[in-house]
């Protein structure tokens, strides 16, 4: 299927000025296509960024039948535009769609759509180190009906906007609060899918911990309240004795992050040992207290790596690596961003240039 382009390249020079708050400024165009059961995906097009027209009874607005993705385009040191593992996002989008009873999007059409949008709006890809163009593929249920049941009609759209360097002053550790009463997701539920309801459900906990000065919530499993799952919208890694990287095994309620997967693939080539395990929070905290755990960090597309300096659990703060960014976090951050920006050779086939 060919994608119609309705728009001209913009002249915006992607310098990503600091006044662009992440997620609040968008490029000039968007991709859009509509689905009907009779005709499948129709009229794929790139058009000027604009408001959607939805019936107030549209299923997405009532029952949250929606999914999304998050990936980035990077301007490389030789001025190419790089996407990082876009097919991994496209496949995860389809897995989320399946869980939410939404239609699949052809992988090639989706990749062509991403490329068509980023190509047209490429002047929006910042040239500042650490900055990027954040891309948000989305699918929503549009059938005007309040009767509970999967929608018949859907809209797939993609928007994009500049994202500044997450860490302007270098990697800075964050304080994290371990949720002891709130839970994010349960096995058998939708925690594995990137679907809006998961994030709405986490807002109250985030609000409460932020009032106490913590930047993120660490989630424990919903059944026993004992096993480590994720931190905010990131996966989490623990480093034992500066060399062994341990992350929770995918449990059915953890979002399978692409950054997590990249670390599990990359780290062994850099001489680290990696393990995916079920991690008991009491053991983790004891290993922090004894100094066996030398670093903790979150990982996700937005920050790449986000060191954790403090973990708060049941009235007590546990400080990690003297609240400093550790060498392993820094090493992985430099390697991953090196591949994304073309400073380091990509031996994994992860980078897809436009």
Ligand X SMILES: *Cc1c(COP(=O)(O)O)cnc(C)c1O
Q: Give the binding site for ligand X (CB under 6 A).
A: 70, 194, 230, 233-235, 255, 257-260, 300-301
Please identify, using beta-carbon distances, which residue of 250 and 319 lies nearer to ligand X: 250
Largest CA distance in the chain: 62
Please identify, using beta-carbon distances, which residue of 230 and 287 lies nearer to ligand X: 230
Q: Minimum CB separation from ligand X for residue 88, in Å?
A: 7
Please identify, using beta-carbon distances, which residue of 9 and 197 lies nearer to ligand X: 197
d(Cα 56, Cα 226) in Å, to the nearest integer?
41
d(Cα 89, Cα 234) in Å, to the nearest integer?
15
Q: Minimum CB separation from ligand X for residue 261, in Å?
A: 8
Can you read off the two tokens belonging to residue 334? Answer: 């430099």
Q: Minimum CB separation from ligand X for residue 339, in Å?
A: 14
Q: Please, are residues 84 and 351 in contact by the beta-carbon 8 Å criterion?
A: yes
Q: Minimum CB separation from ligand X for residue 131, in Å?
A: 17
Element (H, E) at 199: helix 196-211
Q: Nearest to residue 228, comparing CAs of 326, 323, 328, 308?
A: 308
Please identify, using beta-carbon distances, which residue of 44 and 164 lies nearer to ligand X: 164
Burial per residue of 249-268, b for 16 or more beta-carbon CB atoms within 10 angstroms, e otherwise: ebbebbbebbbbbbbbebbe
Please identify, using beta-carbon distances, which residue of 277 and 289 lies nearer to ligand X: 277
Q: Minimum CB separation from ligand X for residue 299, in Å?
A: 6
Residue 55 contacts by C-beta under 8 Å, 6 or more apart in sequence? 142, 144
Please identify, using beta-carbon distances, which residue of 16 and 336 lies nearer to ligand X: 336
Please identify, using beta-carbon distances, which residue of 117 and 263 lies nearer to ligand X: 263
Q: Minimum CB separation from ligand X for residue 163, in Å?
A: 12
Q: Minimum CB separation from ligand X for residue 174, in Å?
A: 15
Residues forming beta bridges with residue 330, ordered by sequence position: none
d(Cα 164, Cα 22) in Å, to the nearest integer?
7
CA distances from 66 to 40, 86, 235 (A): 17, 20, 22
Can you read off the two tokens belonging to residue 169? Answer: 């002053």
């Amino acid at each position: 299927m060919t994608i119609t382009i309705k728009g001209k390249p913009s002249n915006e020079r992607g310098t990503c000025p600091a006044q662009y708050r992440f997620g609040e400024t968008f490029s000039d165009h968007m991709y859009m296509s509509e689905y009907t059961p009779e005709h499948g995906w129709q009229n794929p097009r790139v058009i000027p960024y604009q408001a959607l027209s939805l019936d107030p009874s549209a299923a997405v607005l009532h029952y949250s039948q929606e999914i999304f993705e998050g990936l980035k385009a990077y301007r490389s040191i030789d001025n190419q535009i790089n996407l990082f593992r876009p097919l991994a996002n496209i496949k995860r989008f389809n897995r989320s769609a399946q869980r939410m009873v939404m239609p699949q999007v052809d992988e090639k059409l989706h990749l062509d759509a991403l490329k068509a949008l980023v190509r047209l709006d490429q002047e929006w890809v910042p040239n500042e180190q650490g900055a990027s163009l954040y891309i948000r593929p989305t699918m929503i249920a549009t059938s005007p009906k309040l009767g509970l049941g999967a929608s018949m009609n859907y809209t797939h759209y993609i928007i994009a906007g500049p994202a500044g360097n997450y860490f302007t002053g270098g990697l800075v550790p964050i304080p994290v609060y371990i949720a002891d009463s709130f839970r994010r997701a349960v096995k058998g539920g939708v925690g594995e899918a990137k679907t809006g309801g998961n994030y709405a459900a986490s807002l109250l906990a985030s609000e409460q911990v932020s009032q106490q000065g913590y930047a993120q919530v660490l989630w424990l499993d919903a059944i026993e309240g004992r096993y480590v799952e994720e931190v905010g919208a990131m996966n989490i890694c623990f480093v034992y004795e500066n060399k062994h990287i341990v992350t929770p095994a995918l449990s059915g309620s953890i979002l399978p992050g692409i950054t997590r997967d990249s670390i599990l693939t990359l780290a062994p080539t850099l001489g680290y040992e990696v393990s995916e395990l079920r991690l008991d929070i009491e053991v983790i905290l004891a290993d922090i207290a004894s100094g066996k755990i030398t670093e903790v960090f979150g990982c996700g597309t937005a920050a790449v790596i986000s060191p954790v300096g403090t973990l708060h659990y049941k009235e007590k703060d546990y400080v990690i690596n003297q609240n400093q960014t550790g060498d392993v976090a820094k090493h992985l951050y430099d390697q991953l961003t090196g591949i994304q920006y073309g400073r380091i050779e990509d031996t994994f086939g992860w980078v897809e240039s436009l």
